[in-house]
Amino acid sequence: MSTSAQTLPAFAAPSPLPTAAFEVLGYLAVVAMATLSFVLGWLSVNGAAVLCTLLLLTLIMLAWNRFDQGKHPCFLFLCTLMLFQGGRLIAYCLGGVAHPLQVQLMQDEPFSIGRANEGVVLLCLALSAICLYAPCRWNFKAFPTPSTEGVRKYLPYLYLLFFSSLPIQLYKNYKYFEWAQQHGGYSSIYLNHASLVASVPFLVRIIPLVSFPTLVAIFVFEYRKGRAYAAAALYLGAASVILLLGSRGTTFGLVLALWYIARVKTTRRTRIALLALFAITLVLIADAARQHRDNPDEQQFSFLPLEFLSLQGLSLDVLSTVVAYRDYFAPYARMYPFYELQIAFVAVDTAHYRRGRALSYDASVLLNVNGFDLGGGTGGSYIGEAYAIGGLVGVVVISLLIGFGLHLLRALSRSSLTLALVAMMLPEIMLMPRGGLLDWLSVFFRNAISIILLLAGWKAYSLVTSIRRSVYSHQLPFREGPAA
């Protein structure tokens, strides 16, 4: 009699769906109860600010744990959202700010937008963070590190382009720095950006456009970690001239993109101490660049953490301004994204200001037109722009769309080629909490032109190298084979 092994039933791993649903519903329940308490007068504005801060911080910690120690663009996005929109809230919780929701931007005396509007601001911030997290948490699945075997052949060509364009990149940055120093410093960039760009020859402006995508491709494709980090250090060294000028956003967006690439390419666990050291280093460099910009003659550097957080959180004032004066912005709300698509190709500055072209400029003019004419201003706010478009519903819908977009970026990170494309978009995406809704798309279109040029150059490089190999093989001496 023959026997057969009994087949055991296969038990599938429990689905993460219920846990994800409980997390999101739990946060929404907290927001709903806090909103009801606020409406009934049981919760003060400052108490709601503390609650909103705790919600954002716990959401960041949850994203760190649920997304395999930050291996998701959503984690970085929540961090920049916390810094640029919630920095002042953290400073308040630590005792550095007396009134976290008063508008201080470009004001001699801060003013309140009213209790109801301040509650709406906090509600927008909390709902946006939850709506960003929900689609990413719902669909997250771990995947192996992308292989670089199929793309290593591009490395010699990429290194040739990188080292050829890097000196020109450094020259362009220095000329920009020199022009700004001669025309009043950092604020001159916003007073007449067109003249700044025209101060450098066209070819000098065009050639360095390949430096950024080339660096990103090298950092993704390079399997030798030392060479990848050396290339990044050289590029950031060339960008340090712009840091001296006081412009920090693009550089630190790039650093975050490189950090994301490094996390995706490794299976090692990140040490919390190293992550904290990395964050502190970025903060110190950013604050040093700000102090040098504001007081170029001051040689002494003093780091005040609470002041730094409060200043970085000034973008919350843009959201507050939009909530308080929505009727001022609403007629132009749908035009802001259209003009954002042109921002990487058309110089926008105070000399060419026109109402309805940029939310950040309209907010600055409304708050202090004289200060705006002197070069004062602020960044934008994707939440403010979403609120101008559709109120609370607009914030929820647009934040959900951004969340699905972040999930798509994570899905595209599975292969080296698409990971490079993702990393080219990340710097501007990470700055959305203090930028516009579609600034990143405009920059990506500009980078797409660079990518097309890179592909054309690769075809030429491949043709030349194949011809050289063919000529070399014909010049080799003929060797007779063994006798039969």
How does DSSP assign 27-74, residue by residue? Answer: HHHHHHHHHHHHHTTSS-HHHHHHHHHHHHHHHHHHHHHHTTTT-SHH
Query: Please, what's the b/e burial string for 256-266 (b: 16 or more CB within 10 A of its CB; e: otherwise)?
Result: bbbbbbbbbbe
Per-position DSSP letters for 160-212, written without gaps between them:
HHHHHHHHHHHHHHHHHHHHHHHTTSTTHHHH-HHHHHHTS-HHHHHGGGGHH
Nearest to 307 by CA among 96, 70, 86: 96
Helical (H) or strand (E) element with 284: helix 272-294
Vertex 196 angle, CA 329 and 422, to 5°: 65
Q: What's residue 245's pLDDT?
A: 66
In angstroms, the CA 173 to CA 246 distance is 12
Nearest to 238 by CA among 295, 183, 169, 190: 169
In angstroms, the CA 57 to CA 51 distance is 10
> What phi-psi label fits residue 125: left (phi over 0), alpha (psi between -120 and 50 degrees) or beta?
alpha
Q: What's residue 398's pLDDT?
A: 96
Q: What's residue 303's pLDDT?
A: 64
Burial class (CB in 10 A: 0-12, 13-18, 19+), 413: buried
CA 410, 413, 418, 422 dihedral sign is positive
pLDDT tens for residues 252-297?
888 889 999 998 998 887 777 676 776 777 777 766 666 656 566 5
With contact defined as beta carbons under 8 Å apart, do 157 and 206 qualify? no
In angstroms, the CA 123 to CA 49 distance is 10
Which residues does the chain have with pLDDT short of 50? 1-14, 478-484
Q: Hunting for tokens 């502190």 — which residue is that?
A: 280
Enumerate the domain spans of the chain. Answer: 17-139
In angstroms, the CA 246 to CA 223 distance is 34
Q: What's residue 45's pLDDT?
A: 93
With contact defined as beta carbons under 8 Å apart, do 341 and 428 qualify? no
Amino acid identity of residue 367, one-letter, is L
With contact defined as beta carbons under 8 Å apart, do 323 and 386 qualify? no
* Residues 330-339: contacts with CB under 8 Å, at least 24 apart: 330/388, 330/389, 331/356, 332/356, 332/362, 333/385, 333/388, 333/389, 334/389, 336/385, 336/388, 336/436, 336/437, 337/385, 337/436, 337/437, 337/438
Burial class (CB in 10 A: 0-12, 13-18, 19+), 185: middle
Distance, C-alpha 59 to centroid of its chain: 18
With contact defined as beta carbons under 8 Å apart, do 419 and 221 qualify? no
With contact defined as beta carbons under 8 Å apart, do 73 and 409 qualify? yes
Vertex 446 angle, CA 360 and 341, to 5°: 35
The maximal CA–CA distance of the chain, rounded, in angstroms, is 102
Q: What's residue 478's pLDDT?
A: 45
Burial class (CB in 10 A: 0-12, 13-18, 19+), 253: buried
